[in-house]
Structure 1
Amino acid sequence: MALQGVHHVAYRCKDTKETVEFYQQALGMEFMLAISEDRVPSTKEEDPYMHVFLDAGNGNVLAFFEIPNSPPMGRDMNTPAWVQHLAFKVENLDSLLAAKQHLEGMGLEVIGPTNHELFQSIYFNDPNGHRIELAANTSTPEMLRTLHAIAPQMLKDWTASKSTVHHAAWLHEKEFAQ
């Protein structure tokens, strides 16, 4: 099997119109298409839905489902809010700072920039409560080669101990020193 990329990523939304307008206004995504059915094609369940697709750039597609006959949207309360998120790449640090200013101008609370050494990022929530990250790469090829080389050992050590492994601690040393 040779994957050719991510076709789309789909999340649930509370209100399709509000969600589409948010992603258009906040992130400049183009509303590509909508599909609405009474039955789920894969399972044949009767469950009316609206499924919308937005262009996230470079062939990447973000999709949402509004499913009004299901219980109200929530999130897994056993997973911290910062864990599950959508991260989008921006061109550079200037673009990241301009995005932060734009989002704050829309009245959104924005965290960051946070320095992850490989990239810097900002965080905010969409109207559905989904956490969004915008990231500007700052890594060097050497950093990426180093991390790639130590990844198998990190996974092995984590699997054995289920406690923090420090092979890549240098990534956030500056951030935590502040």
Structure 2
Amino acid sequence: MSEHPVKLGGIHHAAYRCKDAKETVEWYGRVLGMGYTTAFAEDHVPSTGEYDPYMHVFLDAGNGNVLAFFELPNQKDMGRDENTPAWVQHLAFKVPDEEALLAAKAHVESEGIEVLGPTHHGIFKSIYFFDPNGHRVELAADIGTDEQYAELARVAPLMLEEWSQTKKAPRHADWLHEIAREEHAAKG
């Protein structure tokens, strides 16, 4: 088998739209501790040449990951894809463990932000909340074992194939839900 011609080295940055660049930079710094690293501001879009002034800000999300936002003052007000549920499109960030997840929840709530969770996903737990732009943010702590991750990797192709044929949830990883149910029952 030949080597693939595209050589990826990770995600350079993921970019989203924001309502106000300054507010967004301050919010991500205060709520999630992200450092503000870089900004580009232009009146013309470099790739197309069209006139569309923008501010493009970059935030350090840790481990070489960068989250970026565009403020576009001459465009229509920001919206969201009304045909996609609000829970689908989100930014998910990793935290070291469940203790850090609970500490993060307390901090985010202390900022006056409503938080959903923790939600148990079998191999990780998450909390959810919204940024000032309406983007859903998730913080996730991995809690699975090496064996569980290996089993998920093993059944992934089977699940995808079954899904593509039936458009119904395959049952190959039902054990994930059982783990969450057992923990919930134990907490009573």
Residue number among 44, 65, 71 corresponding to 1:39 in the alignment: 44
**Cα distance in 2 between the residues matched to 1:138 and 1:158:** 26
For 2:99, give the aligned amino acid.
D
RMSD of aligned Cα (Å): 1.1
**Cα distance in 2 between the residues matched to 1:43 and 1:169:** 48
Q: Give the equivalent residue in structure 2 for 1:119.
A: 124
For 1:75, give the aligned amino acid.
R
**Cα distance in 1 between the residues matched to 2:161 and 2:59:** 38
The C-alpha deviation readout for 1:37-91, integer Å capped at 9, x for no partner, is 0111111111000000000000000000000111100100100000000000001
Structure 1 gap segments, 5+ residues each: none
* TM-score of the two chains, using structure 2 as the length reference: 0.92
* 1:53-132 to 2 correspondences below 5 Å: 53-132=58-137
Shift of 1:31: 0.3
Q: Secondary structure at the match of 1:148?
A: helix
Q: Give the equivalent residue in structure 1 for 2:177.
A: 172
Q: Give the equivalent residue in structure 1 for 2:28.
A: 23
Residue number among 131, 145, 168 corresponding to 2:150 in the alignment: 145
Q: Give the equivalent residue in structure 1 for 2:3.
A: none
Q: Secondary structure at the match of 1:133?
A: strand
Give the number of aligned pairs. Answer: 178
Moved over 6 A (4+): none
**Cα distance in 1 between the residues matched to 2:164 and 2:150:** 22
For 2:60, give the aligned amino acid.
D
Q: Does 1:162 align with 2:167?
A: yes
**Cα distance in 2 between the residues matched to 1:125 and 1:137:** 21
Shift of 1:132: 0.3
Q: Does 1:3 align with 2:21?
A: no
**Percent same amino acid at aligned positions?**
62
For 1:113, give the aligned amino acid.
P
**Cα distance in 1 between the residues matched to 2:100 and 2:23:** 25
Q: Secondary structure at the match of 1:172?
A: helix
For 2:141, give the aligned amino acid.
A
